Structure 1
């Protein structure tokens, strides 16, 4: 599996460019590299109108709550290193994405609007869980992208205990390692293994404009055959279209669709 260079430096510019890539192109390029499923199925944005984003994963792992282990430290108004949830909220860096492994259990929220507000003010890029949040209406009004499966009012203490921070986790059945790149848009969340991120970025920046061009031709009435997937002639047409300024009116002449075979 050729997945690029492990530990390659990923800059804010790389992340900004990845944010502009489509999840369809990202997952296609990941598939080409051998990563079959990196999309978090069922995890949706509370506010789909927020801009797309990309950031490094900071993970939080939940396990089932147990009465003799839960200190209920969140109910005390003082710093407590045993309260790993608040430690994580105060530790995550600007531009990072908090990925919360809720074990696909949405019976209780993993956090609500106050912790979200704190992370928003600290410059966090997004928050993702395969469980639920509370205060969904308030969170949907924030500028912090938040993705979950459900919204419930039940407190985390009912079913969840924060066991670890910044360790490998599973979120919606996808493995997420600290430092992986998390991409979010209206369609959902894709996790890009860190060592593949730059290779995926370069491929997507080639793929997205090409697919936009192919869509124009299909919209104009051409059949799939010979257009999608693109052949050598289609790619040459695309190169000419780009050289003309990438404007629809400058695209090569669209061939009439083939007559239906009776």
Structure 2
């Protein structure tokens, strides 16, 4: 459905007082808690591979790296968009606790990941005082293509944080939070509220809510195959090329990989990983 918004036009528009503007829905759905657990059990590499098999556009948020070793997050996206600083924008932004950023904070909990779109990689989206509230809410994770400050305190808060870098700089001098839970561009990737965000040591991946089941099915199948291949190469060392490719839906039954999988009970009858059996 299209979301319609009426807006008052300035006098320069020749006396037109109102015009109806159309925009698509911000959210494409929302993943269940069960699906969050399933997607979170997979590596970001497996998820990217699954999306690649589906022909989905890039889903890796470029520049978002874990603030501390061993961090991992999985949850529904709550989005927050920052825009460049302008005096009139600062004046029009709802003040105090009604600001879009605090509105976004209050939507967060253990199953949510706050995704913040910065105007630049070195601009701070927040620090210890603001993010203390996220700790209190038990936030599932924070992701930004910008930077954070007060690094030691944020790490001590315990929630996973993925950012381009750290910085001592202030954010409000150069940007303002403007919209909560709209579609945003974070690190070159479109993020919609309700998408599943998964982060680990390799980076952060956006799984579209509408395709979550399919992504999990393909990615999980690939992880199973990779483990079987690694086990075989460990027992019988040799070039791995004989088992490639193992792109879902492309494995031939009579190939070395197809024969290896058959020894593990994986066949076209019980897997969509083989040639001609893909269902997307």
Q: Same fold (TM over 0.5)?
A: yes
Compute the TM-score of the two structures, normalised by the length of structure 2. 0.75
Structure 2 vs 1, CA of residues 65 and 214 (structure 1 numbering), >3 Å: closer, same or farther?
Answer: same
In the alignment, the residues of structure 1 paired with residue 52 and residue 162 of structure 2 have an alpha-carbon distance, to the nearest angstrom, of 23
In the alignment, the residues of structure 1 paired with residue 260 and residue 122 of structure 2 have an alpha-carbon distance, to the nearest angstrom, of 53
How many residues align? The count is 232
Within-5 A mapping of 1:84-163: 84-103=100-119, 105-163=120-178
Structure 2 vs 1, CA of residues 26 and 99 (structure 1 numbering), >3 Å: closer, same or farther?
Answer: same
- Which residue among 211, 214, 218 is the counterpart of 1:199? 214
- Which residue among 225, 248, 255 is the counterpart of 1:210? 225
Map of 2:13 onto structure 1: none
Map of 2:51 onto structure 1: 30
In the alignment, the residues of structure 2 paired with residue 228 and residue 197 of structure 1 have an alpha-carbon distance, to the nearest angstrom, of 26
Higher relative contact order (CA 8 A, sep 6+): 1
In the alignment, the residues of structure 2 paired with residue 242 and residue 72 of structure 1 have an alpha-carbon distance, to the nearest angstrom, of 63
Structure 2 vs 1, CA of residues 86 and 8 (structure 1 numbering), >3 Å: closer, same or farther?
Answer: closer
Q: Is the 8 A contact 2:76 2:196 kept in 1?
A: yes
In the alignment, the residues of structure 2 paired with residue 97 and residue 130 of structure 1 have an alpha-carbon distance, to the nearest angstrom, of 14
In the alignment, the residues of structure 2 paired with residue 42 and residue 126 of structure 1 have an alpha-carbon distance, to the nearest angstrom, of 16
Map of 1:225 onto structure 2: 241
Compute the TM-score of the two structures, normalised by the length of structure 1. 0.79
Structure 2 vs 1, CA of residues 125 and 239 (structure 1 numbering), >3 Å: closer, same or farther?
Answer: farther
In the alignment, the residues of structure 2 paired with residue 206 and residue 107 of structure 1 have an alpha-carbon distance, to the nearest angstrom, of 38
Structure 2 counterpart SS, 1:158: coil
Structure 1, unpaired ranges of 5+: 1-5, 244-262
Structure 1 counterpart SS, 2:42: coil
Q: How far is 1:142 from its partner?
A: 3.1
Structure 2 vs 1, CA of residues 85 and 9 (structure 1 numbering), >3 Å: closer, same or farther?
Answer: closer
Map of 2:273 onto structure 1: none
In the alignment, the residues of structure 2 paired with residue 224 and residue 212 of structure 1 have an alpha-carbon distance, to the nearest angstrom, of 13
Structure 2 vs 1, CA of residues 112 and 71 (structure 1 numbering), >3 Å: closer, same or farther?
Answer: farther
Determine whether 1:16 maps to 2:37.
Answer: yes
Map of 1:54 onto structure 2: 74
- Which residue among 82, 90, 93 is the counterpart of 1:70? 90
Q: How far is 1:137 from its partner?
A: 2.0
* Aligned-residue CA RMSD (Å): 2.5
Q: Is the 8 A contact 1:108 1:153 kept in 2?
A: no
In the alignment, the residues of structure 2 paired with residue 161 and residue 9 of structure 1 have an alpha-carbon distance, to the nearest angstrom, of 27
In the alignment, the residues of structure 2 paired with residue 218 and residue 142 of structure 1 have an alpha-carbon distance, to the nearest angstrom, of 42
In the alignment, the residues of structure 2 paired with residue 69 and residue 41 of structure 1 have an alpha-carbon distance, to the nearest angstrom, of 28
